[in-house]
């Protein structure tokens, strides 16, 4: 099970409604993933600023103190915006260095993502309640991806919820399960990738991050994944400019894509696309197995 949605806006007028439309889509897939949910919204870029999205593990985290310690360590400004149990740290420093320091030094919180555009939120429980608590429907932006989870390969925890970060401004949501994730995790650990969970999807995220760090484009990394990732999957990968979809060669895990002049939507099922404006004029198709599809705002 699990449900995936993605919405890529071509028409700028719709950007202020991104969160509302993503919420409509995600709510349709609550019953495919009733145990947790998460989403990434791309937008609100500010020149020279990197955003680090974090969520506390169980205790209350003193985010101001975290920001102060991070600022003095990396020698750059760090501002905090608290949203429920989440915090967005905005820094003028290096996101990559900040992420590593936060993982190593703030065990009471998880780092969900880093980048100039991405903001990531996740929670455990009924997806509709998570959408409301974290005010998804008020958010604006250029594109989004979301996930409702029915856990298979690891525990139901906030860390095990999707999306998983795959590096700067990229993240992954997964419907399926991988069978070679333990071996692959060991190989990736030796290459210096950092893990925060026992989750198979996090391994796929780290795999793509590692490939892209090694020079692969997203497209190439996904194609290499067809060889190296053993299991069932539909992946939706968010990037700063857009998103990409790929299904494994057997393609048991469903996926449907719809496109109009105003937007591109991807979802596990059509019913998540049905509430979108103008859907009656959409071109609708199923992505073919082992084929990457990508949309980008970059010219």
Partner 1 sequence: MTKVSSIPRTSRNSVLDLVEMSLRSVNQLLHDTRDGDFLIRNPRGAHAIVCGLDGNLKVTIEGHVGYYCAGMNKRAHVTVIGNAGTGVAENMMSGIVHVRGDASQSAGATGCGGLLVIDGNASARCGIALRGLDIVVKGSVGHMSAFMAQAGRLVVLGDAGDGLGDSLYEAQLFVRGAVKSLGTDCIEKELRDEHRAALRTLLDAAGVRNIDVAKFRRYGSARKLYHFHVDNAGQY
DSSP conformational letter for 16: G
Q: Which is nearer to partner 1, 135 or 284 (CB)?
A: 284
Q: Which of 8, 34, 12 is nearest to 21 (CA)?
A: 8
The verdict on 297 binding partner 1 (CB under 8 A) reads no
> Are residues 81 and 97 in contact, defined by beta-carbon separation less than 8 angstroms?
no
Binding mask 21-60 for partner 1 (x = CB under 8 A): -------x--------------------------------
Sheet strands (E) in the chain: 3-9, 36-42, 50-56, 78-83, 86-91, 109-115, 118-124, 143-149, 164-165, 171-178, 231-238, 242-247, 256-259, 263-267, 283-285, 293-296
3-class DSSP state of 271: helix
* 171 is an active site residue: no
Q: Which is nearer to partner 1, 140 or 274 (CB)?
A: 274
Rounded least distance, CB 281 to partner 1, Å: 13
The verdict on 150 binding partner 1 (CB under 8 A) reads no
Rounded least distance, CB 175 to partner 1, Å: 13
The β-bridge partners of 149 are 34, 36
The verdict on 133 binding partner 1 (CB under 8 A) reads no
The β-bridge partners of 113 are 53
The verdict on 84 binding partner 1 (CB under 8 A) reads no
Distance CA 252, CA 262 (A): 29
Rounded least distance, CB 201 to partner 1, Å: 22
Binding mask 245-284 for partner 1 (x = CB under 8 A): ------x--x-x------------xxxxxxx--------x
Q: Which is nearer to partner 1, 66 or 273 (CB)?
A: 273
> Are residues 266 and 26 in contact, defined by beta-carbon separation less than 8 angstroms?
no
Q: Which is nearer to partner 1, 24 or 102 (CB)?
A: 24
Residues assigned a catalytic role? 2
Q: Which residues bind partner 1 (CB under 8 A)?
A: 28, 251, 254, 256, 269-275, 284-286, 288-289
């Amino acid at each position: 099970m699990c449900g995936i949605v993605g919405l890529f806006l071509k028409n700028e007028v719709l950007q202020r409604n991104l969160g509302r439309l993503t919420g409509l889509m995600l709510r349709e897939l609550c019953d495919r993933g009733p145990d947790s949910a998460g989403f990434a919204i791309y937008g609100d870029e500010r020149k020279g600023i990197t955003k680090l999205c974090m969520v506390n593990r169980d205790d209350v985290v003193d985010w101001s103190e975290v920001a102060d310690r991070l600022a003095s360590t990396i020698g750059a400004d760090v501002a905090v915006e608290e949203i429920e149990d989440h915090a967005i740290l905005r820094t003028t420093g290096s996101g990559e260095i900040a992420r590593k320091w936060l993982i190593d030094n703030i065990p009471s919180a998880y780092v969900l993502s880093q980048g100039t555009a991405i903001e990531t939120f996740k929670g455990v429980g009924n997806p509709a309640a998570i959408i409301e608590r974290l005010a998804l429907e008020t958010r604006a932006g250029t594109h989004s991806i979301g996930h409702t989870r029915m856990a298979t390969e690891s525990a139901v925890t906030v860390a095990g919820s999707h999306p998983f970060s795959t590096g700067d401004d990229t993240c992954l949501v997964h419907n399926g399960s991988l069978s070679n994730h333990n071996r692959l995790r060991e190989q990736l650990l030796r290459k210096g990738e950092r893990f925060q969970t026992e989750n198979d999807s996090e391994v796929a995220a780290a795999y793509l991050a590692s490939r892209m760090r090694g020079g692969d484009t997203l497209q190439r990394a996904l194609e290499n994944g067809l060889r190296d990732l053993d299991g069932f999957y539909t992946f939706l990968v968010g990037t700063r400019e857009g998103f990409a979809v790929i299904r494994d060669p057997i393609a048991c895990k469903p996926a449907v894509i719809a496109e109009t002049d105003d937007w591109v939507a991807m979802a596990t099922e059509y019913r998540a696309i049905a509430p979108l404006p103008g859907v009656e004029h959409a071109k609708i198709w199923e992505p073919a197995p082992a084929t990457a599809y990508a949309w980008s705002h970059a010219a």
